[in-house]
Structure 1
Amino acid sequence: MRRDVFHAISDPTRREIINLIAHQPLNLNTIAENFTMSRPAISQHMKILIECGLIAVEKKGRERYCEAKLEKLDEVAQWIEQYRAVWQQKHDRLDKVLNKLVNKKRKDQ
Protein backbone atom coordinates (compact mmCIF):
# COMPACT_ATOMS: atom_id res chain seq x y z
CA MET A 1 0.00 0.00 0.00
CA ARG A 2 1.41 3.37 -1.01
CA ARG A 3 1.09 5.90 1.76
CA ASP A 4 1.43 9.65 1.52
CA VAL A 5 1.54 12.60 3.89
CA PHE A 6 -2.27 12.94 3.76
CA HIS A 7 -2.66 9.38 5.00
CA ALA A 8 -0.15 10.07 7.76
CA ILE A 9 -1.95 13.11 9.14
CA SER A 10 -5.42 11.61 8.81
CA ASP A 11 -5.10 9.93 12.19
CA PRO A 12 -5.26 11.99 15.43
CA THR A 13 -2.65 9.81 17.14
CA ARG A 14 -0.16 10.39 14.35
CA ARG A 15 -0.86 14.12 14.42
CA GLU A 16 -0.20 14.10 18.17
CA ILE A 17 3.07 12.21 17.65
CA ILE A 18 4.14 14.88 15.16
CA ASN A 19 3.19 17.57 17.70
CA LEU A 20 5.26 15.86 20.38
CA ILE A 21 8.43 15.79 18.32
CA ALA A 22 7.97 18.99 16.33
CA HIS A 23 10.18 21.01 18.70
CA GLN A 24 12.69 18.41 19.82
CA PRO A 25 13.60 14.83 18.96
CA LEU A 26 12.31 12.26 21.45
CA ASN A 27 13.12 8.62 21.97
CA LEU A 28 10.51 5.99 21.24
CA ASN A 29 9.83 5.27 24.90
CA THR A 30 9.14 8.91 25.68
CA ILE A 31 6.73 9.14 22.75
CA ALA A 32 4.91 5.94 23.78
CA GLU A 33 4.52 7.16 27.37
CA ASN A 34 2.21 9.92 26.13
CA PHE A 35 -0.43 7.43 24.95
CA THR A 36 -2.63 4.84 26.61
CA MET A 37 -2.42 2.44 23.67
CA SER A 38 -0.03 -0.48 23.39
CA ARG A 39 3.59 -0.13 22.26
CA PRO A 40 2.90 -2.21 19.11
CA ALA A 41 0.07 0.19 18.20
CA ILE A 42 2.39 3.18 18.63
CA SER A 43 5.01 1.35 16.55
CA GLN A 44 2.48 0.95 13.74
CA HIS A 45 1.76 4.68 13.81
CA MET A 46 5.48 5.42 13.83
CA LYS A 47 6.00 3.09 10.87
CA ILE A 48 3.46 5.00 8.81
CA LEU A 49 4.98 8.36 9.75
CA ILE A 50 8.43 7.08 8.77
CA GLU A 51 7.18 5.64 5.47
CA CYS A 52 5.57 8.98 4.63
CA GLY A 53 8.76 10.88 5.41
CA LEU A 54 7.34 12.87 8.30
CA ILE A 55 9.70 11.32 10.83
CA ALA A 56 13.34 10.31 10.67
CA VAL A 57 14.77 7.92 13.23
CA GLU A 58 18.37 8.17 14.36
CA LYS A 59 20.07 5.66 16.60
CA LYS A 60 22.11 7.21 19.41
CA GLY A 61 23.69 4.52 21.54
CA ARG A 62 20.96 2.12 22.55
CA GLU A 63 18.18 4.66 21.99
CA ARG A 64 16.32 5.50 18.81
CA TYR A 65 15.37 9.17 18.54
CA CYS A 66 12.58 10.43 16.31
CA GLU A 67 12.79 13.80 14.65
CA ALA A 68 9.96 15.51 12.76
CA LYS A 69 10.55 16.35 9.12
CA LEU A 70 7.95 19.08 8.86
CA GLU A 71 8.93 20.16 5.36
CA LYS A 72 6.86 17.21 4.12
CA LEU A 73 3.78 19.09 5.35
CA ASP A 74 4.41 21.58 2.52
CA GLU A 75 2.55 19.09 0.30
CA VAL A 76 -0.54 19.62 2.42
CA ALA A 77 -0.10 23.40 2.46
CA GLN A 78 0.21 23.49 -1.33
CA TRP A 79 -2.87 21.36 -1.77
CA ILE A 80 -4.88 23.57 0.60
CA GLU A 81 -3.62 26.76 -1.03
CA GLN A 82 -5.34 25.94 -4.33
CA TYR A 83 -8.69 26.13 -2.54
CA ARG A 84 -7.95 29.23 -0.47
CA ALA A 85 -8.76 31.60 -3.35
CA VAL A 86 -12.05 29.82 -4.03
CA TRP A 87 -13.13 30.11 -0.40
CA GLN A 88 -11.98 33.72 -0.21
CA GLN A 89 -14.20 34.57 -3.18
CA LYS A 90 -17.15 32.83 -1.53
CA HIS A 91 -16.58 34.73 1.70
CA ASP A 92 -16.28 38.02 -0.18
CA ARG A 93 -19.60 37.37 -1.94
CA LEU A 94 -21.25 36.49 1.36
CA ASP A 95 -19.90 39.72 2.90
CA LYS A 96 -21.43 41.73 0.05
CA VAL A 97 -24.82 40.05 0.48
CA LEU A 98 -24.77 40.57 4.24
CA ASN A 99 -23.74 44.22 3.85
CA LYS A 100 -26.61 44.80 1.40
CA LEU A 101 -29.05 43.26 3.85
CA VAL A 102 -27.77 45.36 6.74
CA ASN A 103 -27.89 48.55 4.64
CA LYS A 104 -31.43 47.74 3.46
CA LYS A 105 -32.55 47.11 7.03
CA ARG A 106 -31.09 50.44 8.14
CA LYS A 107 -32.88 52.29 5.33
CA ASP A 108 -36.18 50.61 6.21
CA GLN A 109 -35.99 51.70 9.84
Structure 2
Amino acid sequence: MVELDFGGVKETVTTRNEFPVEKAKEILKKETIAVLGYGIQGRAQSLNMRDNGLCVIIGQDKRFTKNWEQALEDGWVPGKTLFSLEEAAEKGTIKLYLLTDAA
Protein backbone atom coordinates (compact mmCIF):
# COMPACT_ATOMS: atom_id res chain seq x y z
CA MET A 1 0.00 0.00 0.00
CA VAL A 2 1.05 3.54 -0.61
CA GLU A 3 -0.06 6.77 0.98
CA LEU A 4 -0.96 9.58 -1.41
CA ASP A 5 -1.64 13.21 -0.61
CA PHE A 6 -4.56 14.73 -2.52
CA GLY A 7 -4.53 18.45 -1.73
CA GLY A 8 -3.79 17.87 1.93
CA VAL A 9 -6.02 14.81 2.25
CA LYS A 10 -3.97 11.66 2.77
CA GLU A 11 -5.32 8.39 1.45
CA THR A 12 -3.97 4.88 1.64
CA VAL A 13 -4.21 3.23 -1.77
CA THR A 14 -3.96 -0.47 -2.57
CA THR A 15 -1.72 -1.08 -5.59
CA ARG A 16 -1.79 -3.82 -8.21
CA ASN A 17 1.10 -5.48 -6.40
CA GLU A 18 -1.10 -6.10 -3.36
CA PHE A 19 -4.31 -6.77 -5.30
CA PRO A 20 -3.61 -8.07 -8.83
CA VAL A 21 -6.31 -8.62 -11.47
CA GLU A 22 -6.06 -12.38 -10.92
CA LYS A 23 -7.13 -11.96 -7.30
CA ALA A 24 -10.11 -9.82 -8.34
CA LYS A 25 -11.11 -12.44 -10.92
CA GLU A 26 -10.98 -15.17 -8.30
CA ILE A 27 -13.14 -13.17 -5.89
CA LEU A 28 -15.66 -12.18 -8.58
CA LYS A 29 -15.77 -15.47 -10.52
CA LYS A 30 -19.31 -16.39 -9.38
CA GLU A 31 -20.71 -12.86 -9.67
CA THR A 32 -22.68 -11.21 -12.46
CA ILE A 33 -21.85 -7.52 -12.61
CA ALA A 34 -24.75 -5.43 -13.90
CA VAL A 35 -23.60 -2.09 -15.29
CA LEU A 36 -26.63 0.18 -15.30
CA GLY A 37 -26.13 2.83 -17.95
CA TYR A 38 -23.95 2.70 -21.05
CA GLY A 39 -22.72 6.28 -21.20
CA ILE A 40 -19.14 7.43 -20.81
CA GLN A 41 -18.50 5.67 -17.49
CA GLY A 42 -20.67 2.61 -18.10
CA ARG A 43 -19.10 1.85 -21.45
CA ALA A 44 -15.50 2.24 -20.26
CA GLN A 45 -15.94 0.23 -17.08
CA SER A 46 -17.99 -2.58 -18.62
CA LEU A 47 -15.58 -3.08 -21.53
CA ASN A 48 -12.63 -3.11 -19.13
CA MET A 49 -14.25 -5.74 -16.92
CA ARG A 50 -15.38 -7.85 -19.89
CA ASP A 51 -11.89 -7.68 -21.42
CA ASN A 52 -10.51 -8.91 -18.09
CA GLY A 53 -12.77 -11.97 -18.13
CA LEU A 54 -15.46 -10.92 -15.67
CA CYS A 55 -19.14 -11.74 -16.20
CA VAL A 56 -20.72 -8.42 -17.14
CA ILE A 57 -24.21 -7.51 -18.32
CA ILE A 58 -25.53 -4.12 -19.37
CA GLY A 59 -28.75 -2.38 -18.39
CA GLN A 60 -29.66 0.36 -20.84
CA ASP A 61 -32.90 2.14 -21.69
CA LYS A 62 -33.62 1.69 -25.43
CA ARG A 63 -35.01 5.23 -25.57
CA PHE A 64 -31.41 6.44 -25.36
CA THR A 65 -30.76 5.06 -28.84
CA LYS A 66 -27.20 6.37 -29.18
CA ASN A 67 -26.06 4.41 -26.11
CA TRP A 68 -28.12 1.32 -27.03
CA GLU A 69 -26.63 1.28 -30.54
CA GLN A 70 -23.12 1.76 -29.11
CA ALA A 71 -23.65 -1.25 -26.84
CA LEU A 72 -24.69 -3.34 -29.85
CA GLU A 73 -21.63 -2.18 -31.82
CA ASP A 74 -19.43 -3.14 -28.87
CA GLY A 75 -20.73 -6.71 -28.99
CA TRP A 76 -23.33 -6.77 -26.21
CA VAL A 77 -26.18 -9.10 -27.18
CA PRO A 78 -29.84 -8.29 -26.42
CA GLY A 79 -31.37 -10.88 -24.10
CA LYS A 80 -27.95 -12.34 -23.27
CA THR A 81 -25.67 -9.51 -22.13
CA LEU A 82 -27.80 -6.43 -22.91
CA PHE A 83 -31.06 -5.82 -21.06
CA SER A 84 -33.44 -3.15 -19.87
CA LEU A 85 -32.34 -1.40 -16.70
CA GLU A 86 -34.87 -3.30 -14.61
CA GLU A 87 -33.96 -6.72 -15.97
CA ALA A 88 -30.22 -6.17 -15.61
CA ALA A 89 -30.72 -4.98 -12.03
CA GLU A 90 -32.64 -8.19 -11.27
CA LYS A 91 -30.04 -10.45 -12.92
CA GLY A 92 -26.92 -8.84 -11.48
CA THR A 93 -25.45 -9.94 -8.19
CA ILE A 94 -23.38 -6.74 -8.14
CA LYS A 95 -24.83 -3.51 -9.51
CA LEU A 96 -22.88 -0.50 -10.80
CA TYR A 97 -25.23 2.47 -11.03
CA LEU A 98 -23.60 4.58 -13.74
CA LEU A 99 -26.56 6.53 -15.08
CA THR A 100 -26.17 10.24 -15.64
CA ASP A 101 -28.13 12.62 -13.45
CA ALA A 102 -30.12 13.59 -16.56
CA ALA A 103 -31.30 10.01 -17.05
Specify the TM-score bucket, using the shorter chain as the normaliser. Answer: under 0.3
Q: Which of the pair has more CA radius of gyration?
A: 1
The alignment's TM-score, normalised by the length of structure 1, stands at 0.25
Flag the structure with more relative contact order, 1 or 2, with Cα contacts below 8 A and sequence separation at least 6. Answer: 2
